[in-house]
Amino acid sequence: MTEFSNRVERVSISGIREVFEAAGEDAINLGLGQPDFPTPEHARSAAVEAIQAGKTDAYTSNKGTESLREAISAKFERDRGLAVDTEDIIATAGGSEALHLVMEAHVDQGDEVIYPDPGFVAYEALTHVAGGEPNPVPLREDLTLDPATVEENITEDTAAFIVNSPGNPTGAVQSEEDMREFARIAEEHDVLCVSDEVYEHIVFDGEHHSPMEFTDSGNVVVVSACSKTYSMTGWRLGWVVGSNERIERMLRVHQYVQACASAPAQYAAEGAIDGPQDVVDEMVATFEERRDLVVDGLTDMGLDVPEPKGAFYVMPKVPDGWVDEVLDRGVVVVPGEAFGDHGEGYARISYATSTEELEEALDVMREATKAVR
Ligand code: PLP
């Protein structure tokens, strides 16, 4: 009989897929975690030009092309005022691989990882893959992560805590003060803070800050990607930034599991990051209009809706049976418990879909809400 590793036996297939599969083909899908816009023209052309010029036929350097890492470094300077050496960056196969590298390089058998609950599904899975022990912690009423909760949960076994702002599945944005606190905690407790910033540019109220801005302890690593900002989920291009020592450990894993990120995707990413950013502004403005539409609609139904300030998700509190009623009526939303035990009683609605579909879906939700009340 084939024996499987204990680590992989502790990982289950994401509950989100199950919801998609249960819904009919004609369903309106508000379960998706990807923007519904095309990849910007200048990113696509950069890839096509690189392919035609034969630049993408060979492996690149393990960390990624120098020019892409220069673009990422310039982006850090532009957005966060941080000087990042190109040697302290690895281009990865999306934010997902970046998170995997962080975990493999820092989490040992039995080490604890603290992360938000509800939170992105990969945090638990990747903690298990690394042999660690998940420690999902509850959120504030507004669905942000309280630094005090993180601090209370740190033990001598804690390897890392994960901060994700703007958040999936919540859309919550951590304040600058919170980010300063996370930086302080990482420094004082000498524990790694993993800042997952894949939604960094999709912010409507306030502004995004990274804990990396507030400490030079080397105890913060930043994970980000082109996926959400540039509507490039299919390209699979992200990055991880950290101290030279940490990057060197992550490279030991990356060079054997990936060799290098896909070369065409690296050129597309460079085009996206170096090119005009007004496409991002337009996308964010559209998301904001849709956020207002959905939040107003759900509030009018009498639901309690913590207001999302970023990403493209809203997470209302919903009555018992609501998700099933909505699904039965042909609209896919994801039950909150797919994101952790504290997600129970909530649903995640993605508004990365057209206004027409959102309006139709809100009508369905209105009916479903009446049916379960
Ligand atoms: N982090 C968060 C919070 C996400 O929501 C996602 C994707 O949904 C990722 C990381 C992974 O992004 P990528 O598609 O770049 O692997």
- 363 plus 334 within the same structural domain: yes
Mean predicted confidence (pLDDT) in 321-342: 96
| 105 domain-assigned | yes
Q: What is the CA radius of gyration of the chain?
A: 20
Q: pLDDT per residue over 97-148, tens digit each?
A: 999 999 999 999 999 999 999 999 999 999 999 999 999 999 999 999 999 9
Are 173 and 319 found together in one domain?
Answer: no
Looking at the fold, whether 116 and 206 belong to one and the same domain comes out as yes
**Does pLDDT of 285 surpass 90?**
yes
Q: Is the pLDDT of residue 175 over 90?
A: yes
Tell me whether residue 229 is in a domain. yes
% of residues, the chain, pLDDT over 70: 99
Compute the distance from residue 228 Cα to the ligand 1 centre, in Å: 8
Res 373: pLDDT: 86
Q: How many CB atoms lie within 10 A of CB 302?
A: 11
pLDDT at residue 325 is higher than 80:
yes
Give the Å distance between the CA of 300 and the centre of ligand 1: 31
Using alpha carbons, select from 279, 269, 275 the residue that is nearest to residue 89. 269
In the chain, where does DSSP find H-type helix?
Answer: 6-9, 15-22, 41-52, 66-80, 94-106, 122-129, 147-153, 176-188, 244-257, 263-274, 278-300, 322-328, 355-372
Which CATH number is 332's domain given?
Answer: 3.90.1150.10
| Alpha carbons within 13 A on the beta-carbon side of 119 | 25
Check residue 360 and give its pLDDT.
97
Q: Whose CA is nearest to atom 10 of ligand 1?
A: 95
pLDDT given for residue 121 in this prediction: 96
Q: Supply the mean pLDDT for the chain.
A: 96
Determine which residue's CA is closest to atom 8 belonging to ligand 1: 33
Q: Domain for residue 120, yes or no?
A: yes
Quick check: 333 pLDDT over 80? yes
Q: Are residues 305 and 270 in the same domain?
A: no
Which tens digits make up the pLDDT trace of 188-243? 999 999 999 999 999 998 999 999 999 999 999 999 999 999 999 999 999 999 99
User: Above 80 in pLDDT, residue 15?
Assistant: no
ipTM of the complex: 0.99
Q: Taking CA 182 as the corner, what is the angle to CA 178 and CA 187, rounded to the nearest 5 degrees?
A: 145
pLDDT digits (tens, 9 = 90+) for 287-299: 999 999 999 999 9
130 and 179 assigned to the same domain: yes
d(CA 312, CA 35): 8
**Residue 9 is encoded by which pair of tokens?**
């036996």
Its domain, for residue 368, covers 13-33+278-372
The CB-side HSE value for 354 (13 A sphere, CA atoms) comes to: 4
Is the domain of 215 the same as that of 357? no
Kindly state whether residue 268 falls inside one of the protein's structural domains. Answer: yes
Residue 70 lies in a domain: yes
| Mutation probe of ligand 1 site: the residue of 34, 90, 96, 194 with most atoms within 8 A of C-beta | 96
Handedness of CA 89, 91, 97, 101 (dihedral sign): negative
Last residue of a domain, one of 214, 247, 274: 274
**How far does residue 62's CA lie from ligand 1's centre (Å)?**
22
- 361 in any annotated domain: yes
Residues with CB under 6 A from ligand 1: 33, 94-96, 120, 164, 168, 196, 198, 225, 227, 233, 238
Instruction: Look at residues 232, 259, 274 and tell me which one is the last residue of a structural domain.
Output: 274
- Residue 6: inside a domain, yes or no? no
Does one domain contain both 128 and 256?
A: yes
The three-point CA angle 178-175-222 to 5° equals 70
Which pLDDT score, from 0 to 100, does residue 25 have? Answer: 76
Do 332 and 323 touch, CB atoms closer than 8 A?
Answer: no
What integer is the mean pLDDT of 145-154? 98
Q: 100 with 129, same domain?
A: yes
CA 145 to mean position of chain CA atoms: 15
Q: Which two tokens stand for residue 291?
A: 């956020």
pLDDT level of residue 88 (50, 70, 90 thresholds)? very high
The C-alpha atoms of residue 222 and residue 197 are separated, in whole angstroms, by 7
Q: What is the pLDDT of residue 1?
A: 67
Cβ–Cβ < 8 Å for 166, 202 = yes
Same domain for 79 and 171? Answer: yes
Site to substitute for ligand 1 among 97, 99, 101, 120, most atoms within 8 A of C-beta: 120
- Looking at the structure of the chain, the number of domains it has is 2
Query: Do both 200 and 323 map to the same domain?
Result: no
Q: What CATH number does residue 96 fall under? A: 3.40.640.10
Query: Are both 309 and 231 inside the same structural domain?
Result: no
Ligand 1 centroid distance, CA of 236 (Å): 10
Q: Do 84 and 223 fall into the same domain?
A: yes
Tokens of 181: 């606190």
Confirm whether 362 is domain-assigned.
yes
Task: Give the end of a domain, one of 242, 274, 306.
Answer: 274
For residue 333, what are its two tokens?
């939303």
